[in-house]
Structures are given as C-alpha cells and as structure tokens.
Amino acid sequence: MPLVVPGVTTNDPEVSKTSEWMDKLCGKTLGDEHSETTFCKKDLPEQTRVIKPGTMVTKDFNPDRLNVNVDDEGKVSHVYHG
C-alpha cells in the first residue's frame, strides 16, 4: 500500500490544479505580460479573484474559482481553489 501524505501525495485533481497554479504564480506579481517575475493576468482562469491584504471576500465555496493572495507589494503569496 503506497504512503499517502495529505498535501504531499494525493490523487485529488483539485489539489493537483492548486499545486500547478502555486508553482506558476508564487513569488511573481500579476501584470500585463509574462516575464521571469511577472505573470500575465489574462492567462489566469476566468473564475479568478485576486485578494489583496485587508480585502473582504465572501465565504461561499466555488471549487472552480482560483483565489490568488498577494502581499502588500503585489507578489503572490499563495493560491487556493474554493
């Protein structure tokens, strides 16, 4: 039986999608074009919300929505679906 560690090894496609977006976005800023330090906003999924510090957000769960948290400098700190 294989070892399954939540958040590290999983067969859940939602976790895989989130990890993929985390790898693409973490540490980058969102802008109008791609570079080493910037990710183009237009390439984010249609149902994406960018959450800045202090921004109020609803608590409704939408498994297709990508939530992108940015810090005070506009860099992506983490992402999650929901």
In angstroms, rounded to a whole number, what is the distance separating the alpha carbons of residues 11 and 53? Answer: 32
pLDDT tens-digit readout, 28-80: 999 999 889 999 999 999 999 999 999 999 999 999 999 999 999 999 999 99
User: What pLDDT does 3 receive?
Assistant: 53
DSSP element (H, E) containing 17: helix 13-25
pLDDT class of 27 with cuts at 50, 70, 90: very high
User: What pLDDT does 45 receive?
Assistant: 94
pTM for this model (two decimals)? 0.78
CATH of 13-81, one of 3.30.10.10, 3.40.47.10, 3.40.50.10680, 3.90.1150.10: 3.30.10.10
Question: Where along the chain do its domains lie?
Answer: 13-81
Long-range contacts from 13-22, C-beta under 8 angstroms, 24+ separation: 14/63, 14/81, 17/81, 18/79, 18/80, 18/81, 21/66, 21/68, 21/79, 22/78, 22/79
User: For residue 61, how far is the Cα from the chain centroid?
Assistant: 15
